[in-house]
Amino acid sequence: MTDDRAQHLAVERKALALGKWANLFMAFAGIATAWASRSDAMLVDGLYSAVNFASAIAAARIGARVGLPPTRTRPWGHDFDEVLYVTFRSLILIGVLVFAGFVAGTKIWTFFSGGNVPELIFGPIAVYAVVIVAICLGLALNYYRAYHRTGKRSSILKMESRAAMIDGALSLGSGAALLSLPFLEGTFLGPYVPIGDAVIVLLLISAIIWQPLATFRNTLADLAGVSAPSGTYAKAARTSRDVAREKGYKFHRAAVLQAGRMHWVVVYLDPELPIRAKDVDAFRDLLAARLEDRIGPTRVEVVVTASDGLRA
């Protein structure tokens, strides 16, 4: 493990550890506030924090394995663990939001069906909203700083920073909206105040569900083996071509994949002259070092071939 990687890992662990315990506190606070205030919006907020707490535990373990060398049981290393984590993290968040929508829809259905909908108690909501918004903003800033200190290469820290911002926005929006409901009494919307928190939940879900959906779509592309973004591919191919030219080899093409913070580059080339195995190793090591500077952590494989490896 290089000194930089060890330092980055320490920064990531510290940020995730702080987030883990903060989310545990927010989960208990949200569920307790939901019970005290009879608010579904507060329950959703608490469940969201509970997901963040469980995710932080998994993220710390996965982050420690990313970049480790291949083993007999994991011949391709652990790099795709990060992509799997972000993918399932997004799915869980989507599931929580769908569940919240179902609960809110049930309350609205009960109200219009003539059923009993308990009145909200606003005192606990005000205290909760102020405390939780402050914590979420602090966590988002902590993750953001850690993300930049680690070279902006950790998908985990990037995901957690967004999750903290979403959690804070959820708490702020739901708290502010719920506290404004008493002012609707005496207006034409007064009769609908009992389902105000359910409507707020549905509005918040509509506003934020697109973020985990977009993340899920992006990581699904990584898992499917879709080529890295065009900018990353162009840099990798150009660098591979330059190194091949320096060595006097014929460059066919490069295949570039991205797995979280790690890149996989397979280079197809024809030496056109007899070479030794150690020459191929030297080419691989030189290319890996240059790609490390240009696109980030990279694993390189070299395929010596007379063709470009593509089939019609």
Mean pLDDT calculated for residue range 199-213: 82
Highest mean pLDDT among 125-134, 230-239, 257-266, 302-311: 230-239
Q: Is the four-CA dihedral 8, 10, 14, 20 of positive or negative sign?
A: positive
DSSP conformation letters of 41-77: HHHHHHHHHHHHHHHHHHHHHHHHHTTPPP-SS-TT-
Burial of 288 (0-12, 13-18, 19+ CB in 10 A): middle
Q: How confident is the model at residue 291 (pLDDT cuts 50, 70, 90)?
A: very high
pLDDT digits (tens, 9 = 90+) for 76-105: 777 777 778 788 878 888 888 888 888 888
Between residues 249 and 114, which one has the greater pLDDT? 249
The chain-wide mean pLDDT, for the chain, equals 83
Give the chain's largest Cα–Cα span.
90
Check residue 312 and give its pLDDT: 46
pLDDT at 253: 92
How confident is residue 251, by pLDDT bands cut at 50, 70 and 90? very high
CA distance 58 to 159: 13
Entry pTM: 0.68
The CA distance from 171 to 185, in Å, is 23
Over range 276-298, report the average pLDDT.
91
* Residues 1-42: tens digit of each pLDDT: 456 667 777 888 888 888 888 889 988 998 898 888 888 778
Q: For residues 149 and 171, which has the higher predicted lDDT (pLDDT)?
A: 149
For the chain, give me the number of helices (H) and strands (E)? 9, 3
Coil vs helix vs strand at 225? coil
Residues 186 and 31: their CA atoms lie apart, in Å, by: 31
